[in-house]
């Protein structure tokens, strides 16, 4: 019974107030912290033990067509999304993203807020028709979140990525605006 009560209490808790804003150079340390978390390392393609200098360099040298946003809760950066709009003429209608959420904030709506932000950018400002993503086949929470936004599984890449010393399958998902 205690486990059921804890689950009910968690579901009934008020969602945190989330602010999504463009990423700034001063967010490098927070991004380093997010992508140093065990789940973020397992469920993204980031390598373990990132440095603040690496994040500063990435933020200082953002390529054309790449948009980065962070999610804040109570002034703390707890999530990040990088959205890449293809600059190639024949695929300019396509984009992709990568997303990371601090382990302590999974299930708090951070991913939903970040994805909503880039979908608005894609649909209403960039004329993006197709958003495509890759996700670890065993990441059921992320897959469910993406499906909520209309993403569909298009295929599986057997041994598509490498994690914790073994190859894992990757799902290709996409949302095509009709």
The residue among 98, 81, 76 whose CA lies nearest residue 23 is 81
pTM confidence score: 0.89
First and final C-alpha spacing in the chain: 47
Give the pairing of strands 166-176 and 76-85. unpaired
- Copy the structure tokens of residue 19: 């602010």
Residue 155 lies in a domain: no
Residue 7 lies in a domain: no
The residue among 128, 133, 149, 113 whose CA lies nearest residue 45 is 133
The whole-number pLDDT of residue 46 equals: 87
pLDDT at residue 99 greater than cutoff 90? yes
Q: What is the mean pLDDT of the chain?
A: 92
Euclidean distance between CA atoms 9 and 156, whole angstroms: 37
Instruction: Domain of residue 102: give its range.
Output: 13-132
Residue 59 lies in a domain: yes
pLDDT at residue 1 greater than cutoff 50? no
Q: How is residue 34 annotated by DSSP?
A: H
Confidence of residue 12 (pLDDT cuts 50, 70, 90): very low
Residue 47 lies in a domain: yes
Per-residue pLDDT of 105-120, as tens digits, reads: 999 999 999 999 999 9
CATH number of the domain within which 76 lies: 3.40.630.30
Average pLDDT of 143-155? 98
Residue 164 lies in a domain: no
The whole-number pLDDT of residue 120 equals: 98
Average pLDDT of 139-145? 96
Count up the domains in the chain and report the number: 1
Where is average pLDDT lowest: 15-19, 61-65, 127-131, 136-140?
15-19
Per-residue pLDDT of 37-80, as tens digits, reads: 999 888 988 888 889 999 999 999 999 999 999 999 999 999 99
**What's the Cα-to-Cα distance from 127 to each of 34, 86, 112, 174, rounded to whole Å?**
30, 11, 21, 16
């Amino acid at each position: 019974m205690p486990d059921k009560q804890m689950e009910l209490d968690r579901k009934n808790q008020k969602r945190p107030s989330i602010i999504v804003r463009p990423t700034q150079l001063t967010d490098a340390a927070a991004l380093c912290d997010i992508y140093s978390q065990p789940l973020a390392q397992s469920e993204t393609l980031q390598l373990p033990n990132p440095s603040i200098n690496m994040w500063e360099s990435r933020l200082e040298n953002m390529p054309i067509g790449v948009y980065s946003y962070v999610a804040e809760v109570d002034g703390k950066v707890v999530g990040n999304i990088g959205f890449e709009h293809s600059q190639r003429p024949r695929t300019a209608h396509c984009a992709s993203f990568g997303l990371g959420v601090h382990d302590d904030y999974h299930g708090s709506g951070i991913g939903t807020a970040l994805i909503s932000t880039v979908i608005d950018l894609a649909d209403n400002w960039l004329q993006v028709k197709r958003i495509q993503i890759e996700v670890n086949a065993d990441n059921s929470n992320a897959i469910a979140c993406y499906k909520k936004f209309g993403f569909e599984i298009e295929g599986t890449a057997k041994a598509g990525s490498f994690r914790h010393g073994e190859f894992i399958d990757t799902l290709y998902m996409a949302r095509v605006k009709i």
